[in-house]
Amino acid sequence: MTGSLAIIGLGPGNEDLQTPQAKDALARATDLFGYTTYLDRVPVRPDQNKHGSDNREEIARARAALELAYAGKSVAIVSSGDPGVFAMAAAVFEAIEFGDPAWRDIAVTVVPGISAMFATAARIGAPLGHDFCALSLSDNLKPWETVTRRLRLAAEAGFVIALYNPISKARPWQLGAAFDLLRAVHPPATPVVFATAVSRADETVVVTDLATADPALADMRTLVLIGSGATRRIDRNDGDPWLYTPRRSDLGAIDLGNTAPQTKAAG
Ligand code: SAH
């Protein structure tokens, strides 16, 4: 009998940020697939089989998981954050589209998770309070010209930008080039956040600005958030500032003095 495949989001790191649905799906699996680093975060019971692989092997991993699911197993495949955001869910559907037509009988479920951009935003206020977009800075799977075009247009269009995969050993210069490009669009004081290993024990969150943003603050576990023209910074009396992007687009034009704007209650 055909088995099942659950594509599970583990959240950004801390188990608290994993959904009960994800925990249930992990517990039900006979076989667990994933990038070894992510799979190591999952408590695997002796009766469950673990199939770890390298992070470049997504399609091969998806095919292996589908084969086992088709053979009748309850298979789980894990991603960090949300599995639909630059992660395994799209790799599985690509493998299904171009793979054995019989795989279309498999019961596939996608179990959502808290993506790095949401975990990061929650740490610093509400920077994604208005229109935003998520971009992967990796040019492994798309040409660099596509990356720069999307970045420029997103910045010009006023989106807050969440940059995933900002840097790696194989892609050392792209983040600096991205900042240069954005400096031609946005003012120097535009907020930039480097959020590394959010919700994990070694989490660091640095709030800076476009003028001084230093790519050396990022590694493979960093989400870089770049404000739009509307993103505002509130300096706290003690501690890191809050950032937020107002729900209304005309806030910057209003002389607020020290008074909060009159708006309807949040919906
Ligand atoms: N599916 C994941 C993204 C995978 S792409 C999600 O929804 O979050 C890998 C990139 O995600 C990393 O390069 C980094 O930019 C970001 N990322 C993943 N976990 C993170 C964390 N705990 N803190 C900050 N960024 C993280």
DSSP H or E segment with residue 7? strand 4-9
Q: Indicate if 99 and 151 belong to the same structural domain.
A: no
CATH number of the structural domain spanning residue 240? 3.30.950.10
115 lines ligand 1 (CB under 6 A): yes
The domain of 12 spans 4-111
Q: Are residue 182 and residue 152 in the same domain, yes or no?
A: yes
Say whether both 134 and 86 belong to one domain. Answer: no
Rounded to two decimals, what is the model's pTM? 0.93
Tokens of 254: 């209003």
Q: Please name the residue whose Cα sits nearest to atom 11 of ligand 1.
A: 164
Q: What is each CA distance from 256 to 126, 175, 229, 251, 253, in whole angstroms?
A: 19, 36, 17, 8, 9
Return the best residue to mutate from 82, 163, 204, 223 for the ligand 1 pocket (most ligand atoms within 8 A of CB). 223
Question: Is the same domain home to 52 and 16?
Answer: yes
The pLDDT value recorded for residue 54 is 84
Same domain, 151 and 89: no
Q: Is the CB of 78 inside a 6 Å radius of any atom of ligand 1?
A: no
Average pLDDT, the chain: 93
Q: Are 76 and 101 part of one and the same domain?
A: yes
Number of structural domains found in the chain: 2
Q: Do residues 145 and 95 both lie within one domain? A: no
Q: How far is CA 218 from the centre of its chain?
A: 15
Q: How far is the CA of 81 from the centre of ligand 1 (A)?
A: 6
DSSP classification of residue 104: G
Domain boundary among 67, 91, 111: 111
- Domain end: 90, 111, 132, which one? 111
Q: Are 157 and 186 in contact (CB under 8 A)?
A: no
**One domain, residues 98 and 163:** no
Neighbours of 187 (CB within 10 A): 10
Q: How confident is the model at residue 256 (pLDDT cuts 50, 70, 90)?
A: very low
8 and 83 Cβ atoms separated by less than 8 Å: yes
CATH of the domain at 36: 3.40.1010.10
Both 221 and 259 in one domain: the answer is yes
64 and 38 within one domain: yes
Task: Give me ligand 1 centre to Cα 86, in Å.
Answer: 9
What is the mean predicted confidence (pLDDT) over 78-93?
Answer: 97
Closest residue CA from atom 18 of ligand 1: 116
In this predicted structure, the answer to whether residue 263 has a pLDDT above a threshold of 60 is no
- The rounded Å distance from CA 32 to ligand 1 centre is 20
The model's pLDDT over 3-56, given as tens digits with 9 standing for 90+, comes to 999 999 999 999 999 999 999 999 999 999 999 988 998 999 999 999 998 877
